[in-house]
Structures are given as C-alpha cells and as structure tokens.
Amino acid sequence: MPRPFTPKVVTANALLEGDVVYLTEDDRWTRTLTEAELIEDEAHAQLRLLDAEMQPDRVVGPYLADVKAGPQGPEPTHFREAFRSRGPSNYQHGKQAGA
C-alpha cells in the first residue's frame, strides 16, 4: 500500500545568496516558511517541484520538505527543516536576526 501523502512545501537555496527559500502560492520565492504554499496533494506537489526546477537562474536544489499546517502557515515537522527555517542555533545571525 502506498504511504499516505503528508503536506509539503517546495524549498531550495537562493542562487545568489544561498539563503533557504520557499515557493509561495503566487510563484514568488520567500525567505519565510509561514508564507510558503502548503501543498496537500501529491500530484500538485510534483507539478510545483517541476515549476521550481524550471528556475535554475534563481534557485539551487529544490525539493519537497515535510511540513504541517499551523496557525500562521506551514510549520516544520523535522528538526532539520526547523533549523533551515530559522538559522543556526549557536549564533543569532541567521534568519532569526532579522525576525
């Protein structure tokens, strides 16, 4: 039996800065996970990943990351994506510095 599909966001690194970015519903790349498009359908997820892969002039290494729906928008379900969404934990100089 296929594994049930769990919600996803499309994420990548920005080409110029290397920053972690997320694809929004209106085709922008945002630095903020909560602004990302929450994808709950597997076929749609594959299409959105293809959309991202068609933008090599803007991003590097797009992939689908697991998330869950939260009150403000998508939230990470794994600690790796949590660190990617906010920056390293030893200094406050990643994304958390601008929050």
Partner 1 sequence: MYSYNEFDTAFLQERNAQFRSQVERRIDGSLTEDEFKPLRLMNGLYLQLHAYMLRVAIPYGTLNSRQMRQLAMIAERWDKGYGHFTTRQNIQYNWPKLQDVPDMLDALADVGMHAIQTSGNTIRNVTADHFSGAAADEIADPRPVAELIRQWSTDHPEFQFLPRKFKVAVTGSPNDRAVTAAHDIGIRIVERHGEIGYQILVGGGLGRTPMIGKVLADFVPGDDLLPYLESIVAVYNLLGRRDNKYKARIKITVHETGLDEIRRMVGDEFAARKPAFAGVDQEMLLEITSHFAPPPFGSAGTGDYDSTYATNPAFRAFVDTNVDTHKRDGYAIVSISLKSHGATPGDATADQMRVMADLAETYAHDELRISHEQNVILPHVPHRHLPAIYAALRDAGLATANIGLISDIIACPGMDYCALATARSIPIAQEIATRFDELELEHDVGPLKIKISGCINACGHHHVGHIGILGLDRAGVENYQITLGGDGTEDASIGERAGPGFGADEIIPAIERLVYAYLDLRESPDETFLQSYRRLGLAPFKAALYPAEAKADAA
Please give the residue ranges that form the binding site for partner 1 (CB under 8 A).
13, 15-20, 56-57, 60-61, 77-80, 83-84, 87-91, 93-95
Instruction: Please state the closest distance from residue 59 (CB atom) to partner 1, in A.
Output: 9
Instruction: Please state the closest distance from residue 77 (CB atom) to partner 1, in A.
Output: 7
Instruction: Please state the closest distance from residue 76 (CB atom) to partner 1, in A.
Output: 10
Instruction: Please state the closest distance from residue 43 (CB atom) to partner 1, in A.
Output: 26
Distances (CA, A) of 14 to 11, 51, 69: 10, 15, 24
Could you count the other beta carbons within 10 Å of the beta carbon of residue 6?
Answer: 12
Which residue lies nearer to partner 1 by CB, 13 or 34? 13
Angle at 15 between CA 11 and CA 21, to 5 degrees: 25
Which residue lies nearer to partner 1 by CB, 48 or 62? 62
Q: Distance between CA atoms of 66 and 22, rounded to whole angstroms? A: 12
Which residue lies nearer to partner 1 by CB, 14 or 38? 14
Burial string for 36-52 (b: 16+ CB within 10 Å, else e) reads: bbbbeeeeebeebbeeb
